Amino acid sequence: MNLPIDLRSDTVTKPSPAMRQAMANAEVGDDVAREDPTINRLEALCAELYGMEASLFVPSGSMANQVAIKTWTQAGDEMIVDLNAHCYNLESAAIAAVSGVQVAPVEGKRGIMTAEQVEARIRPRNVHHGPTTLIAIENTHNRGGGSIYPVETTAAIGEVARRHGIRLHLDGARLLNACVEKRVRPTDYTRHCDSATLCFSKGLGCPVGSVVAGPREFIERARRWRKVFGGGMRQAGILAAAAIYALEHNVARLADDHANARLLARGLAEIDTLDLNPDEVETNMVFFDCRRTGMAASELKQRMAKAGVLMYDTAPYRIRLVTHLDVSREQIIEAVGVFKRVLMSA
């Protein structure tokens, strides 16, 4: 038995020995003074990857999103997001607390909004409303089940945004998962957006760090807000070296995580008391409903943890499982067996 098997999140990944060596060898300087050569190299690489003029390294994906929102908006504005968007649900109400911006949520399908839904939510420009100044999409969509925005939908939303003079921000924390799965380039998405993020501490296996990319003038303003938020770091090239290593070695292998998620979903679908559709598994996330087990999600989570499989409950009867580089195909097969034993004995 190779336990515990940690399926809570792809954020639990640990840097590999090779990544640690790259970090140890990193050339560093003071990044606040823009003197860290490894940070500068990473920011240039990410700007090129996303087809943007510039990018900015920040400690977390949440900070990347919130820096972008703060930079694009003013207090009293309104922004459009999916009802289950990470920046709206899982970033400690920072949109309101930090930017003073009101949210107009749209109920997308598995997190994916249509251009028609977005356009219908844009406020008329009159004194009774806070102006709609920003739209944010999330690709892949976490609470949507790791769902992938179609390139065509992104393009259509981008066209709506441009026509109305509104900025479009892409929460691309897991964008490379979408690109690997659909065999497209990041720029196929980002060319329709005004800004975009990328997180290194999820499927890419880094200990910490994200970037936000966009026009050069936007990034200059975002740099100031990063400092305000306490995100200005000094010899952060140690962290940037991990991100560069990940971009060079850990992108193509995201396909392994997706294959393992599909294997996991097919195995769980064989358990009569679990409700899930394996066909909805697009990337590295598997969600299921456990209502028919007779247990709340919190109880099933506890029983599975005792048996050696870790996972998160996201609603009273909903569980999320996430595959990543620290979980092998053999462990996925083992995890399915643990589920079957636990539920047979319940």
pLDDT of residue 344: 85
Tokens of 34: 């823009």
Q: Give the span between the Cα atoms of 183 and 251, in whole angstroms.
A: 12
Nearest to 46 by CA among 183, 214, 181, 203: 214
Burial (CB < 10 A; 0-12, 13-18, 19+), residue 90, is: middle
Residue ranges of the chain with per-residue pLDDT less than 50:
none
Tokens of 93: 């109400």
pLDDT of residue 295: 97
Buried residues in 3-28 as b, exposed as e (16+ CB within 10 A): eebbbbbbeebebbeebeebbeebeb
pLDDT of residue 290: 98
Q: Give the span between the Cα atoms of 92 and 300, in whole angstroms.
A: 26
Residues of the chain with CATH 3.90.1150.10: 253-344
235 φ, ψ (degrees, to nearest 5): -80, 60
**175 touches 198 (CB < 8 A):** yes
* CA distances, 92 to each of 24, 52, 68 (Å): 33, 28, 16
Q: What is the Cα 274 distance to its own chain's centre?
A: 26
Buried residues in 99-122 as b, exposed as e (16+ CB within 10 A): bebbbbbbebebbbbebebbbebb
How far the first Cα of the chain sits from its last, in Å, is 21
Diameter of the chain measured on Cα atoms = 65
pLDDT of residue 189: 98
**205 touches 13 (CB < 8 A):** yes
141-168 pLDDT per residue, tens:
999 999 999 999 999 999 999 999 999 9
What is the three-class DSSP state of 84?
A: coil
pLDDT of residue 345: 79
CATH class of 17-249: alpha beta
Answering whether pTM is above 0.95, one says yes
Burial (CB < 10 A; 0-12, 13-18, 19+), residue 318, is: middle
253-344: CATH topology is Aspartate Aminotransferase, domain 1 (3.90.1150)
Residues of the chain with CATH 3.40.640.10: 17-249
